[in-house]
Chains A and B, each alone.
Chain A
Amino acid sequence: MTNIAVVNQIIPFSCVDGPGSRLVIFMQGCNYRCKSCHNPHTIDLCNNCGDCLPSCPTQALSLITSNNKPQVIWNEALCIQCDLCLSACPKQSSPKTQRYSVEQLLTQLRQQVRFLNGITISGGEASLQLPFIFELFSAIKADDELAHLTCMLDSNGSLSINGWKQLLPVLDGAMIDLKSWQQDTHRFITGRGNHRVINAIELLASKGKLHEVRLLHIPGISDFDTEITAVANHLKTLPKKVRIKLNAFQHHGVTGAALNWPTCSEAQIKQLATELTQHGVINIVLPSPYL
């Protein structure tokens, strides 16, 4: 197979993307349009329009023609990470993405395997590049040196049940975002309903592969507090070991209308945690340190 991934960034050592020390791959491209997105430049795939070129102060970007098609080339050595190109892009994309083959990622993993407990694919929405992920995870499991690494996915939960079923044999665990409880609210924030998300959470939980459910609390916008009973009743059905991770909405990275939304204070996130606890939800994890 020759699957290629479009990758926004690789973090070689992370402590916050699953259990233990993990290499995290942030894939480019997302099917949601969350107004609250903290990394909006990961949403769209680049269409090589070239509009970002003039914004670059160091000429790190150039446009070439390959197979009769225009292609933006990013020269990492020249880039000073000023991110002016991201503001210039009319889409929600980045010229600084890179393409990786499974073999290239395996090579990088082998170089640092002694420091790692596992690998996490995040995004963007990772599951949009399902065939690549399946091939990568399968290759890790088949490699004597790497097989002990846990393979996890950080997802918005929108993948179809069939998609999840395909991935399950090589997946060790998933972290799923639940952006809101009511359909309307979920649609308002993300552009889509949450049926698939709820289904994914239930499927993963039943297979013992749900590591964490993440709730992003936006006071006055998300509805975990107003729908507390329903939310809690759902969360209580999950296995005890599933972490319920509360995240507090901040303006960092956010663009557009959501900048007018209030941020979530430490007191507000603690309040939500207290209410969930009173409704019988266990294993709640607060942001640490509070950001």
Chain B
Amino acid sequence: MTLLTRLSQITRDVTLSPKQKSNFLALEADSSLPYVEVSEPVRQAMDSGIIGDMFEGHAPFKPRYVLPDYAKYLHQGSEYLELSPAKDLDEALNSLAIIYHHVPSVTNIPVYLGQLDEVLLPFCQGLDTESLYRKLKLFWIMLDRTLPDAFMHVNIGPTDNIVCRTILRIDADLKQIAPNLTFMYDPQVTPDELLQIAASNICECSKPHIANFPMHAKAYDKKGFGIVSCYNSLPLAGGSNTLVRLNLKAVALKAADIADFFENTLPHYCQLTYELINARCKFLHQESNFFNSFLVKEGLIEESRFAPMFGIYGMAEAVNILRGHPELTESNSEKPSPYYGHDRAANELGHQISKALDAIIKSTPVDFGYNERALLHSQGGISLDKDVTPGVRIPYGTEPNPIAHIQALAEHHQYYTSGISDILTIDETIKSNPLAMFQLCKGALSLGFREFTANVASNDLVRITGYMIKLSDIEKFKENGSRTNTTGLGAEAAANTKILLRQPRVIAHELTPSYTD
């Protein structure tokens, strides 16, 4: 299809809204530009699907994820937006609603809405509980209706405070797709009773995710961090300039044996990944003029706090291939014993690969990074992936019981500074037993999970590939289109990756859809 036919097809599409059409048209325009300059080996690795840029565009003129310092913004107001410092909660919420429309990201929708309890608490003095509930509830509804993307993330916790509790209450009452929600848990600070409320919410609507606060905090400086999109942990007042991902399955297929993989193949393709990272960052930082934005001028973000994310996926297949076992598919899943996720030696080989990646990441400088480094990320898959499992996850439909599942993967979590998402699917019986969810979550975090995400199977709200989506919406989308961008993504993911056929489902997602008719 020629570019013009594609463009014309998008403009005529029956199901997309005008705004969604504009987005796809812009994406097409971006991808019709010449690609940033890369060497021939990088080009080849990209063409054969070993490394990829996640459809971020050929000329990266905005960072992938941006995490502005919203507390500072509310405190100082904005010259560019002609806003004075916020004096009360109404002004604070109004100012936030305004700036969200000026925070870019790969999806054009802000992926980070702030550590909202900390940001809003100073404005809640003297407000009674019900007024606070009413104001925040309206704000929540506004977010879901005007920025309908499940990649958009609010953070709360680890302290026990009225805003945190009110948000949990609203989120359970409304059960909206957006915003996504992470609750930070710190065993030293967070009361068990508050974590129990969060666990009950998970039973109600598969949100929030529970982040291991001390573990994330340790990876960053005093200025802190935020969890954005689907479980990416990044520096606050900074973000991620790009995400390049490496397909471990494809790398394993190139290796003669395990030794060759560790000594030659893996380091070689990591080096090509770095080349692509540097090329993309060079354009963003030196040619795009992004860092002249008011966000930088007013001190809400700093160029030095942006880090490239070094993503990996296909760990399960890589391990099974290197150990000489055919791929584990649903048709032979009844005897999964020698496979990744089930066999001790297979799991340990996986841990070794993560450790090797960590050593490479820690010792390789990048041109534009956080402390001159990229951050390792277990990438949650995109809707176009076929026959390759997201990140370090256990393949769809072959997951062991939740406890064995956690035990098989916990060892990986220490290495993935910028996030790792394992979604545990737990059958519906847990709905009437939130204490079980609480205990499972505590167990996972104490064993070294960075982030605990659970999907209660057959909820009306089911998390497919890392974000919220309604099963009923998938059906409807086929006929009518959807108000929510990510529903389109889910429909595509469901068709391509058999998500809906799987039993316990476990995948994540972070990608703007490219247009498919």
| Contacts A12-B401, A81-B334; A117 near B439 (Cβ below 8 A) | yes
Q: Give min CB distance, B457 to chain A, whole Å.
A: 10
- What are the residues of chain A within 8 A of B335 when measuring CB–CB? 80
Tell yes or no: A115 within 8 A of B by CB: yes
Contact A114 B447 (CB under 8 A): yes
- What are the residues of chain B within 8 A of A115 when measuring CB–CB? 402-403, 406, 439-440, 443-444
Tell yes or no: A1 within 8 A of B by CB: no
Contact A77 B337 (CB under 8 A): yes
- What are the residues of chain A within 8 A of B427 when measuring CB–CB? 15
- What are the residues of chain A within 8 A of B404 when measuring CB–CB? 12
Near A by CB (< 8 A), chain B positions 424-468 give 426-433, 435-436, 438-440, 442-444, 446-447, 458
Whole-angstrom distance between the alpha carbons of A80 and B41 in the complex?
46
Q: How large is the interface on B (under 10, 10 to 19, 20 to 34, 35 or more residues)?
A: 20 to 34
- What are the residues of chain B within 8 A of A80 when measuring CB–CB? 334-335
Q: Give min CB distance, B231 to chain A, whole Å.
A: 21
Contact A117 B446 (CB under 8 A): no
Q: Give min CB distance, A285 to chain B, whole Å.
A: 8
Nearest residue, chain A, Cβ from B400: A12
Count contacts between A and B, CB distance < 8 Å. Answer: 64
Contact A21 B429 (CB under 8 A): no
Near A by CB (< 8 A), chain B positions 396-416 give 401-404, 406-407
Nearest residue, chain A, Cβ from B335: A80
Contact A20 B458 (CB under 8 A): no
Contact A13 B402 (CB under 8 A): yes
- What are the residues of chain B within 8 A of A285 when measuring CB–CB? 432
Tell yes or no: A142 within 8 A of B by CB: no
Nearest residue, chain A, Cβ from B432: A288
Q: Which of B428, B429, B446 contacts A114 (CB 8 A)?
A: B446
Chain A interface, DSSP helix/strand/loop, else mixed: loop
Tell yes or no: A116 within 8 A of B by CB: yes
Whole-angstrom distance between the alpha carbons of A19 and B438 in the complex?
12
Tell yes or no: A256 within 8 A of B by CB: no
Q: 1/0 contact trace for A3-22 toward B, CB 8 Å?
A: 00000000111011001111
Whole-angstrom distance between the alpha carbons of A115 and B437 in the complex?
9
Q: Give min CB distance, B291 to chain A, whole Å.
A: 45
Q: Give min CB distance, A139 to chain B, whole Å.
A: 21
Tell yes or no: A101 within 8 A of B by CB: no
Whole-angstrom distance between the alpha carbons of A12 and B406 in the complex?
12
Q: 1/0 contact trace for A30-51 toward B, CB 8 Å?
A: 0000000000000000000000
Q: Give min CB distance, B427 to chain A, whole Å.
A: 8
Q: Which of B334, B403, B447 contacts A13 (CB 8 A)?
A: B403
Whole-angstrom distance between the alpha carbons of A288 and B431 in the complex?
8
Whole-angstrom distance between the alpha carbons of A287 and B503 in the complex?
21
**Could you list some 10 contacts between A and B, CB below 8 A?**
A13-B401, A13-B440, A15-B426, A19-B433, A20-B438, A21-B435, A77-B337, A80-B335, A112-B403, A112-B407
Q: Which residues of B contact A (CB under 8 A)?
A: 334-335, 337, 401-404, 406-407, 426-433, 435-436, 438-440, 442-444, 446-447, 458
Q: Which residues of A contact B (CB under 8 A)?
A: 11-13, 15-16, 19-22, 77, 80-81, 111-112, 114-117, 285, 288-289
Q: 5 closest pairs, A vs B, by CB?
A: A115-B443, A21-B436, A20-B435, A114-B443, A15-B433
What 17 additional pairs, Cβ within 8 angstroms, besides A13-B436, A80-B334? A11-B401, A12-B404, A13-B401, A13-B403, A13-B440, A15-B433, A16-B429, A19-B433, A20-B433, A20-B435, A21-B439, A21-B440, A80-B335, A112-B407, A114-B442, A116-B443, A117-B439
